Structures are given as structure tokens and as C-alpha cells.
Amino acid sequence: MNKITKLLMLGTLILLTFASCDENVNGNDNNAPTPPSFAEIFDIEFTIPDSTELVNYSSEQVDYDGIMVTGYSLDQFVNIDSVNAYIDEDGFDGRKLFAVEIVSSDNYTPRDNDYYDLSWSNFITGYLLPDEKGRTYFADENIPSGYNVKWAYYLRLYRKIDIILDANLTIFETGAFPPQEITYTKDGESYTESSIGVENFISEYVSEDPHNYQYLFTAADGWINDDSDNIFDWDTIQNSFWLPEQNKAIFLDTNFDTIYKSVKIVENLELIEIQR
């Protein structure tokens, strides 16, 4: 074996060693908690009007890269009455209960680049710019440019529940979880419902120590379980279920069969650290 061959073999061994080290580093990344999944089936779908219909909507001048252009606020394309009829509520703006996916006419979506669907509070800051390739546009620097979708056409809404921990908000779309049937008793009557365990919304992505928190539910109509008779701990959460068809969470007793409390139209769930 000549010197050149030996040097080539040594170089190959060194490269393989570095490659092995790189694989170990990437392997550690794989241990990170998995972020929430997307729901595959939307709850409600709206379409953005074409240029002939936009005359029926309000416009304003928007600063787009230093040029003033005509823009239409996106919220007016999601009809509040249709949404409230869908959830069978009328005492509040039901649109805040949904995440919004923007889809182009050729079916491009920010999901293709792993951008999560927009919360309603972020979505309403956006505009449609019909003269700029029909794109959506968000001037807020905290909203990535990946949401500026050219030739935007579909607005798809997904029921969500916001999970809040230390002012950090994580969106969970309820349709992302496979439902299970549960049977429970209320006022002596037995019911069987399609359900999702509420504990699914408190994944390791939110917290790896769910026992260290109490859970504060806020309903869309303003109800909050913030009194001493309504404090929910982790054991309570593990006995609670979201009923999509009834748009409410129910809490079962320790025998896991009798409902003793429920919360309708849950908007968010906040984790409050237990002071020990």
C-alpha cells in the first residue's frame, strides 16, 4: 500500500468520524417535543371575492414596500353571521374561536412551509392587495412573509383552543385529534358522545410537568373558572373531554362515568403554576 493510498484512507476515516458526530447532534434535535398538528378537515370555508365583487367591500390605502396601494381588510371576507350560525351562538364574535388557513387558487398554503394557521387576532391585521398579484399582506413584522399568499382564494377556518403558559400562546386545532366515544351519565340519563380528551391539548410541547399547574378555562362569552370552587388540577383535566358536536368540555367524576361540570364554547385554557 503506497503513501497516497494510506493518506486517502486516513482522510476517509476522518470524514466518517465527523459525519458520525453530526448525526449525533441531529439526533438530539429529534428529541424536541412535537408541535401541534394541523386539522385536515376544515370547519367552514369562505372564498375571496373576485375583482368584480370587490366593489361591495371597503378598501383603504396600504403601505406596501414603500408604495401606497389599494387594500381590503381580510376580516370582511369571513362573515360573522355565518360563523355564529355554525357554532349556534350569537352573543359574541365567534370568529375568534377559529384558526385561519389561507389557500391560493392553485392550492398553495403556508402549511406547505410548516407555517401554522393564523389566529383570528393575527389574521384581522392582514389585507388583500388585488393589484399586487392578489396577495394577502401582513405589515406586522412579527408575522412572517410566508403568510403573504399570492392569488389568495380560500379562507379555511378550523376550530381551535388556545393554550397559554407564561404569556406564550399555542394553538391546538381540535380536529387534529382522532375522536373517541365515551359514555357518561347526566341527571340520570346516559349519553354516548364523540370526544377528545382535554389532556391532549396539554402536550409536552406546552409543558413536560402538567402536574405543576392549575387550569383556568375561559369561555368565549367571558366565563372564567377563577373562583375557589372551580379550580381544576391535572387529575381533573385527565377526567375531562371536549365534545366537538356540543362545543363544550365536560368533567367526569373519579368513577369516570358521571358529569359534574361543563364549560361551553371554550376559547382558551391557561396554565397557572401551583405555588408550593
Distance (Å, whole) CA 144 – CA 126: 12
What's the whole-model pTM score? 0.86
Nearest residue to 175 via CA among 78, 242, 105 = 242
User: Domain for residue 91, yes or no?
Assistant: yes
191 CB contacts (<8 Å, ≥6 apart)?
A: 183, 184, 185
Q: Which pLDDT does position 253 carry in this prediction?
A: 86
Are residues 136 and 215 both part of a single domain? no
| SS3 assignment, position 80 | helix
Contact 175, 128 (CB under 8 A): no
Q: Which has the closest alpha carbon to 135: 104, 107, 94, 172?
A: 104
150 and 54 together in one domain: yes
Confirm whether 39 is domain-assigned. Answer: no
- CB of 75 closer than 8 Å to CB of 61: no
Place of cell 391585521: 125
pLDDT per 10-residue tile (average), the chain, 276 residues? 43 37 44 89 97 95 97 98 96 97 98 97 98 97 96 98 95 96 89 95 96 95 79 91 94 82 94 90
C-alpha cell at position 228: 375557589
Whole-number pLDDT of residue 260 = 82
Look up cell 399547574; give the residue: 213
Q: Which domain holds residue 205?
A: 177-273
Nearest to 218 by CA among 82, 122, 96, 100: 96
Q: For the chain, how many structural domains are there in total? A: 2
Task: Specify whether the CB–CB gap between 241 and 198 falls below 8 A.
Answer: yes
Residue 71, classed as helix, strand or coil, is strand
What local confidence, expressed as pLDDT, does residue 163 receive?
Answer: 97
Question: Per the domain annotation, does 167 fall within a domain?
Answer: no
102 and 157 assigned to the same domain: yes
What is the β-pairing status of strands 259-264 and 248-252? antiparallel
Give the DSSP per-residue string, 75-143.
GGGS-HHHHHHHHT--SS-GGGGEEEEEEETT---GGGGTPPPBPHHHHTT-EEETTTTTEEE---TTS
Domain contains 248: yes
| Residue at 52 is within a domain | yes
In this structure, are 125 and 216 located in the same domain? no
In a domain, 33, yes or no: no
